């Protein structure tokens, strides 16, 4: 056989089997089969920042730190996809985007993990997120003081407001000119998308009930941007965008990070953070290409999202830190806080065909801003567009249909209309991530995730289901039923705060216990609010990068200044 390998073979090589970010190059996500040069760092030379995880937190931070001139290496357990080559237009195939490694889910209200809340790819779960890009209500940053529940964030909302604007520009969020809720904000960078029938139904219901609605600010292009085309309304958003319209970390922060000199290593599973005798982080052991490696670093950032982040910290015990790293407060893994994701579904006489377009083109945040309720926290609700596998599974496992009733219900697919909340659940110390006895394919103890709703959670859910049911009745939907058991997003297992006894990191995402160990993802959220978290995670990452620059300039990266 000739030794020459045709280019096409290389292009179609399986990104789940062979790493692509190596030998001084990285996949070009904008060109089929393309490559871009990538800087390479030696494992034996400490880099300024070693970041574990490349999603909304880690990907954003890697970009901003590399742009600031720091040497950066990022590790991701998942593959480095080129969407144009690797993404099929198919639900089943695209489950390759999810974190499907073994995890145990338990408690009074066990979470469903994997598909809608955990990604395993360069770009993390932003590769399959629904692109909903919302700001927190300002009061949520002082929820304890102003609203009487949860905990205060150590960051002022006005500061966050400028970081939100920064992220919205970076992702060219498509949204309305004026947003109906909260303090003034700049108009969204790109114009809002056209509404599909599912979104029109939401709007109609809101108008009948007398509450405001809006086009959803979305991280998918409504105008060309560089080599990416505008969204073509395929409707496969939550199984990965094959045309690059979706502004995931994979096609935004990460190409910029690489261009700015960061090195990202795909198919690299972090197993343990190494700490020296002085109690400082010195690097990370990671598994790649059938072998364990060790990358040295001056600073380690954990950005694995609210299950893998505490898992890595808890898997990195030493004699000095027998309960895991950054855990003197005992709070690593605690206060896991998800969001309620209940829905009301019904049938319209009209054809809805909600599979077309982004699934959540319209929303109402009315109940995030109206405090005349019998529970703490709030929720928004959005229009829905489940694809057939997800919809069939919903009818089977949530509505309890099988046999002929299931087949008949599925025939109404094109007439289904649905409203689904993202609702604020209360932080509770006993909702937590711990380690199980079972091991994963790397030989690492797997996560055990325990979750139970509290009374307030149930009151919020009841309120939302009741209101959404009214909204469906108002538009004459028939056969209305309630999906009562779903949740989404995972946050809060390494919360930030002002007191080392009651938090894991400070406002700069720096761990209280180990000055060169940082945590930058949804784990740091003290409360979760009633909106999707991705915009806030990216805003926090931008803020953290700025703070790190400031601390470095003052010589305070090496050790924490005395307060």
Partner 1 sequence: MPDRYPGYDVLAKRHTPSWNEQTRRVIDRRLAVPRTPRFLSDHEFATVQAIAAEVVPQPVHRPPVPVAALIDAKLLDDIQDGFRAADMPRQRTAWLRGLQALDAEAQAAHGAAFRALTAERRCDLLLQMKQGALKHDSWGGMSPVNFFKQRLLHDIVEAYWSHPTAWNEIGWGGPASPRGYVRMGYDERDPWEAAEAHGDADAASRKNRHVG
Nearest CB to partner 1, comparing residues 169 and 414: 414
Considering only residues 105, 473, 484, 546, which one is a binding residue for partner 1 as defined by CB under 8 A? Answer: 105
Nearest CB to partner 1, comparing residues 98 and 161: 98
The neighbour count for residue 430, using CB atoms within 10 Å, is 12
What is the contact mask toward partner 1 in residues 397 to 426, using x (rule: CB under 8 A)?
x--x-xxx-xxx-xx-xx------------
Chain CA centroid to CA 224, Å: 25
Q: Whole-number minimum distance, CB 221 to partner 1, in Å? A: 13
Q: How many residues bind partner 1 (CB under 8 A)?
A: 67
Considering only residues 389, 430, 478, 502, which one is a binding residue for partner 1 as defined by CB under 8 A? Answer: 389
Residues whose CB is less than 8 angstroms from the CB of residue 556 and which lie 6 or more positions away in sequence, other chains included: none
Q: Whole-number minimum distance, CB 400 to partner 1, in Å? A: 8
- Bridge-based pairing of strands 291-302 and 517-519 is parallel
Q: Is 557 in the site for partner 1 (CB under 8 A)?
A: no
Q: Is 255 in the site for partner 1 (CB under 8 A)?
A: no
The neighbour count for residue 158, using CB atoms within 10 Å, is 10
Q: Are 382 and 422 in contact (CB under 8 A)?
A: yes
Region class of 321: left (phi > 0), else alpha (psi between -120 and 50), else beta: beta
Q: Is 207 in the site for partner 1 (CB under 8 A)?
A: no
Q: Whole-number minimum distance, CB 311 to partner 1, in Å? A: 14
Q: How big is the chain by its Cα radius of gyration, in Å? A: 23
Backbone angles phi, psi at 528, to 5 degrees: -110, -10
Nearest CB to partner 1, comparing residues 101 and 263: 101
Cα 243 to Cα 30: distance, rounded to the nearest angstrom: 9
Q: Whole-number minimum distance, CB 90 to partner 1, in Å? A: 5
193 sits in which H/E element: none
Nearest CB to partner 1, comparing residues 241 and 509: 241
Q: Is 196 in the site for partner 1 (CB under 8 A)?
A: yes
Q: Is 194 in the site for partner 1 (CB under 8 A)?
A: yes
Which stretch in 19-27, 42-50, 100-108, 498-506 sits in contact with partner 1 by CB under 8 A?
100-108
Nearest CB to partner 1, comparing residues 17 and 92: 92
Q: Is 434 in the site for partner 1 (CB under 8 A)?
A: no
Q: Whole-number minimum distance, CB 98 to partner 1, in Å? A: 6
Backbone angles phi, psi at 561, to 5 degrees: -70, 145
DSSP state of 143: I
- Token match 């209500």: residue? 137
Considering only residues 164, 190, 236, 305, which one is a binding residue for partner 1 as defined by CB under 8 A? Answer: 236
Q: Are 19 and 27 in contact (CB under 8 A)?
A: no
Give 435's strand partners: 447
Q: Whole-number minimum distance, CB 56 to partner 1, in Å? A: 18
Q: Both tokens of residue 431?
A: 């909702």
Q: Is 100 in the site for partner 1 (CB under 8 A)?
A: yes
The neighbour count for residue 487, using CB atoms within 10 Å, is 23
Considering only residues 13, 165, 200, 211, which one is a binding residue for partner 1 as defined by CB under 8 A? Answer: 200
Q: Is 355 in the site for partner 1 (CB under 8 A)?
A: yes
Q: Is 215 in the site for partner 1 (CB under 8 A)?
A: no
Q: Both tokens of residue 175?
A: 């949204």
Considering only residues 91, 159, 166, 513, which one is a binding residue for partner 1 as defined by CB under 8 A? Answer: 91
The greatest distance separating any two alpha carbons of the chain, rounded to the nearest whole angstrom, comes to 75
Q: Whole-number minimum distance, CB 240 to partner 1, in Å? A: 10
Q: Considering only residues 29 through 88, tell me which ones interact with partner 1, judged by CB under 8 A.
A: 85-88
Cα 132 to Cα 538: distance, rounded to the nearest angstrom: 13
Cα 541 to Cα 64: distance, rounded to the nearest angstrom: 8
Cα 528 to Cα 342: distance, rounded to the nearest angstrom: 16
Cα 119 to Cα 297: distance, rounded to the nearest angstrom: 25
Q: Is 435 in the site for partner 1 (CB under 8 A)?
A: no
Q: State the residues that interact with partner 1 by CB under 8 A.
A: 85-93, 95, 98-106, 110-115, 118, 194-197, 200, 231-236, 242-243, 350-353, 355-357, 387-389, 391-393, 396-397, 400, 402-404, 406-408, 410-411, 413-414, 448-449
């Amino acid at each position: 056989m000739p030794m020459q390998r045709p280019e096409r073979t290389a292009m179609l090589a399986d990104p789940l089997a062979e790493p692509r970010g190596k030998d001084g190059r990285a996949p070009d996500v904008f060109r089929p089969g393309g490559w871009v040069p990538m800087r390479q760092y030696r494992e034996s030379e400490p880099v300024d920042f070693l970041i574990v995880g490349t999603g909304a937190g880690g990907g954003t931070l890697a970009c901003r730190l590399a742009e600031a001139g720091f040497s950066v290496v990022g590790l991701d357990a998942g593959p480095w996809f080129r969407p144009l080559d690797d993404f099929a237009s198919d639900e089943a195939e695209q489950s390759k985007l999810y974190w499907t490694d073994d995890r145990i889910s338990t408690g009074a209200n066990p979470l469903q993990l994997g598909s809608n809340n955990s990604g395993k790819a360069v770009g993390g779960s932003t590769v399959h997120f629904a692109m909903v890009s919302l700001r927190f209500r300002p009061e949520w940053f002082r929820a304890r003081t102003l609203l009487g529940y949860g905990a205060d964030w150590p960051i002022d909302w006005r500061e966050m407001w400028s970081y939100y604007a920064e992220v919205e520009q970076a992702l060219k969020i498509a949204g309305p000119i004026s947003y109906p809720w909260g303090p003034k904000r700049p108009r969204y960078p790109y114009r809002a998308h056209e509404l599909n029938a599912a979104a029109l139904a939401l709007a109609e219901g809101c108008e009948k009930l007398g509450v405001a609605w809006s086009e959803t600010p979305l991280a998918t292009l409504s105008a060309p941007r560089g080599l990416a085309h505008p969204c073509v309304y395929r409707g496969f958003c939550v199984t990965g965008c094959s045309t690059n319209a979706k502004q995931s970390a994979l096609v935004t922060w990460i190409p910029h990070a690489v261009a700015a000199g960061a090195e990202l290593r795909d198919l690299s599973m972090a197993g343990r953070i190494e700490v020296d005798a002085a109690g400082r982080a010195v690097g990370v052991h990671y598994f790649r290409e059938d072998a364990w490696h060790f990358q040295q670093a001056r600073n380690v950032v954990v950005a694995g999202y609210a299950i893998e982040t505490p898992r890595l910290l808890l898997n990195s015990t030493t004699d000095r830190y027998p309960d895991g790293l950054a855990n003197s407060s005992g709070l690593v893994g605690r206060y896991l806080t998800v969001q309620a994701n209940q829905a009301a579904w019904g049938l319209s006489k009209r054809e809805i065909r909600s599979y077309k377009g982004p699934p959540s083109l319209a929303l109402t945040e009315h109940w995030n801003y109206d405090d005349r309720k019998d529970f703490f926290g709030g929720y928004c609700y959005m229009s829905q567009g489940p694809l057939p596998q997800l919809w069939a599974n919903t009818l089977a496992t949530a509505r309890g249909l099988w046999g002929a009733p299931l087949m008949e219900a599925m025939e109404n697919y094109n007439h289904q209309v649905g409203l689904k909340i993202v609702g604020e659940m209360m932080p509770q110390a006993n909702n937590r991530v711990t380690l199980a006895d079972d091991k994963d394919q790397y030989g690492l103890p797997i996560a055990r995730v325990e979750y139970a709703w509290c009374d307030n959670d149930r009151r919020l859910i009841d309120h939302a289901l009741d209101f959404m049911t009214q909204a469906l009745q108002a538009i004459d939907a028939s056969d209305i039923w309630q999906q009562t058991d779903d949740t989404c997003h995972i946050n809060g297992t390494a919360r930030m705060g002002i007191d080392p006894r009651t938090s894991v990191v400070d406002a700069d995402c720096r761990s209280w216990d180990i000055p060169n160990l940082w945590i930058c993802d949804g784990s740091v959220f003290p409360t979760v609010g009633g909106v999707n978290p991705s915009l806030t995670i990216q805003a926090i990452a931008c803020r953290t990068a700025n703070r790190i620059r400031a601390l470095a300039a003052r010589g305070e990266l090496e050790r924490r200044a005395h307060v």
